[in-house]
Every structure is written in C-alpha cells, then in structure tokens.
C-alpha cells in the first residue's frame, strides 16, 4: 500500500423507513448492520389531483431516509 493511500472502507448507505416500520426499528436495523446515522431527510410523496380540468399535485405523505456510515471500531 502506498504512503498516502487509505484502506477503502464501506461507503455511505441509505436507509429508507419501510412501510409499517418505526424510526426506532429502522435505527436498530442500521445498528445491526454496523452503521450509524449521519443525516435524516424527508421526501414528500405527491398525489396527482384533477380539479376543474387542471392537474395539480398535493402532498399526501412523506418518506424518511437516513444516510449512514459504518461504525468505526476501536482496536
């Protein structure tokens, strides 16, 4: 290995909260896989609504997504 090169570690991973899953359950799933969250984002889910001949988009739900990185182990 060269002087300035670091070992490649697993990259960031995204965890989407599944249907019927709580945030705590998603966090536990991350922990079991060896990841820790670094950011939480929410993405709206829109529904197409036809009103007076016009199509509009209304928010009906949201999706919560966590960005996570591998937990660093101490040796």
Q: What is the pLDDT of residues 41-69, one digit of tens each?
A: 999 999 999 988 999 999 999 999 999 99
Residue 63 lies in a domain: yes
Residue 75 lies in a domain: no
Total domains in the chain come to 1
Task: Identify which has the larger pLDDT, 75 or 25.
Answer: 25
User: Is 50 contained in some domain?
Assistant: yes
Q: Give per-residue burial for 51-75: e unless 16+ CB within 10 Å, then b.
A: eeeeeeeeeeeeeebbebbeeeeee
Please say if the pLDDT value at position 29 is more than 70: yes
46, part of any domain: yes
Vertex 57 angle, CA 49 and 65, to 5°: 125
């Amino acid at each position: 290995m060269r002087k300035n090169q670091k070992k490649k570690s697993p990259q960031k991973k995204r965890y989407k909260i599944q249907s019927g899953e709580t945030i705590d359950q998603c966090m536990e799933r991350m922990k079991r896989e060896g990841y820790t969250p670094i950011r939480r984002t929410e993405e709206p889910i829109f529904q197409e609504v036809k009103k007076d001949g016009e199509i509009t988009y209304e928010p009906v739900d949201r999706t919560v997504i966590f960005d996570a990185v591998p937990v660093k182990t101490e040796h």
